[in-house]
């Protein structure tokens, strides 16, 4: 049952048909569903895990409270570190970190 619900939720992520005008693309109206807020938390997390830029990740947290909570998860920042930096770079920083690792802090140290 859980897998069926999760598969159904991922089907929701498929792009809707788009309407174009001479001026550009029309935005969906308020009556178009589903909206990001309607997706299960697992799906929103998967969307966030695909963001490659820390600014996009930080700004996405401003969209609504669930996204902010997910952006604060260590897993999101750990995956962003693994995407942008080599294991050697990460290991060098981890040597100087306390046992409780703050992956967001590590990401910003590695950026410098």
Going residue by residue through the chain (112 aa), what tens digit of pLDDT does each one get? 556 665 665 555 555 554 445 555 566 677 777 778 888 999 999 999 988 889 999 999 998 899 999 999 999 999 999 999 999 999 999 998 777 789 999 999 999 8
Q: What share of the chain is helix, strand, coil (3-state, %, to 5)?
A: 60, 5, 40
> Has residue 23 been placed in a domain?
no
> Has residue 57 been placed in a domain?
yes
| Rg (alpha carbons) of the chain, rounded to whole number | 18
> Has residue 46 been placed in a domain?
yes
> Has residue 16 been placed in a domain?
no
Alpha-carbon span 1 to 71, nearest angstrom: 28
> Has residue 22 been placed in a domain?
no
> Has residue 69 been placed in a domain?
yes
Q: How many domains does the chain have?
A: 1
The helix (run of H) or strand (run of E) holding residue 105 is: helix 103-111
> Has residue 19 been placed in a domain?
no
DSSP 10: H
> Has residue 107 been placed in a domain?
yes
Distances (CA, A) of 105 to 14, 62, 95, 102, 112: 34, 19, 14, 5, 11
Which residues span the domain enclosing 82?
Answer: 2-10+32-111
């Amino acid at each position: 049952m859980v897998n069926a619900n999760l598969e159904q939720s991922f089907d929701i992520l498929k792009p809707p048909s788009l309407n174009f005008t001479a001026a550009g693309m029309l935005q969906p109206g308020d009556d178009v569903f589903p909206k990001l807020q309607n997706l299960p938390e697992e799906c929103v997390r998967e969307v966030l895990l695909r963001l490659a830029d820390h600014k996009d990740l930080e700004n996405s947290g401003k969209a609504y409270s669930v996204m902010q909570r997910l952006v604060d998860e260590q897993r999101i920042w750990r995956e962003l570190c693994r995407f942008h930096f080599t294991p050697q770079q990460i290991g060098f920083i981890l040597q100087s970190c306390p046992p409780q690792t703050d992956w967001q802090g590590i990401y910003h140290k590695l950026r410098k």
